[in-house]
Amino acid sequence: MLWLRYYELVHVQVLEIGIVVHSVVIGVSMGASTNQCTIRPLIAALCFHQLFEGMGLGGCILQAEYGMKTKAILVLFFSTTTPFGIVLGIGLSNVYSDRSPTALIVVGLLNASSAGLLNYMALVDLLAADFMGPKLQGSMRLQAWSYIAVLLGAGGMSVMAKWA
C-alpha cells in the first residue's frame, strides 16, 4: 500500500505541473491577443477550463491527503499562474505584432501545446484512474453511462472550440 500512497502524491504533482503549464500558456495566449473577437472566446474557454481543472485537481489533492501547508501551496500555484500568464502575454504583445506570421505561429504553438497538455492530463491522469477502478469495472451499466458522459463532454468542448 505504500506504493499506492506514493503514486497518489506523484500523480497530484504531475497533474499540478501540467495544469500550471497549461494555465500559463493559455494566459499568455489571452494576454498577447489584442483582437476582441479572439479575447471573448478565450475568456469563455478559460472559465470552463479553470472550473474543471480546479475540480479535478481539488479532488486529487483531497485523495492524496496532503498537509494544510502543501494544499495551500498547490492552491496558490493554481490560482496565480493564469494571471501571471496574462501579464506575461501583455508584456509580449508590446514586443511583436499579433498579425505577423511569427506571432500567429507562436500563438498557434502555444494553443496546441496547451490543448495537448490538457488532453494528456484528462485522459492519462484523471480518466484512466477512474475507468480502471473497481467500482467502474464491476458495473457494465456505470461503464456505459461513463463513456456517454465522456463523449458528451468531449463533444461539448468541440462545439465550444468550433464556436471559439
Q: Where are the domains of the chain?
A: 2-121, 133-164
- Whether 55 contacts 153, CB under 8 Å: no
Q: Is 65 left (phi over 0), alpha (psi -120 to 50) or beta?
A: left
One pLDDT digit (tens) per residue for the chain, 164 residues = 555 555 566 667 777 777 787 788 778 878 877 777 777 777 887 887 788 888 878 887 887 778 888 888 888 888 899 899 889 888 887 776 667 788 778 777 877 777 777 777 777 767 877 788 888 888 899 999 999 998 998 888 788 777 65
Give, in order, the Cα–Cα distances in Å from 135 to each of 35, 44, 46, 130, 131. 47, 34, 32, 8, 9
59: which 3 cell numbers?
A: 479532488
Amino acid at 90: I
* Cα end-to-end span (Å), the chain: 45
- What gap in Å lies between CA 138 and CA 142, rounded to an integer? 8
Closest to 91 in 3D by CA, of 35, 32, 26: 32
- Whether 22 contacts 116, CB under 8 Å: no
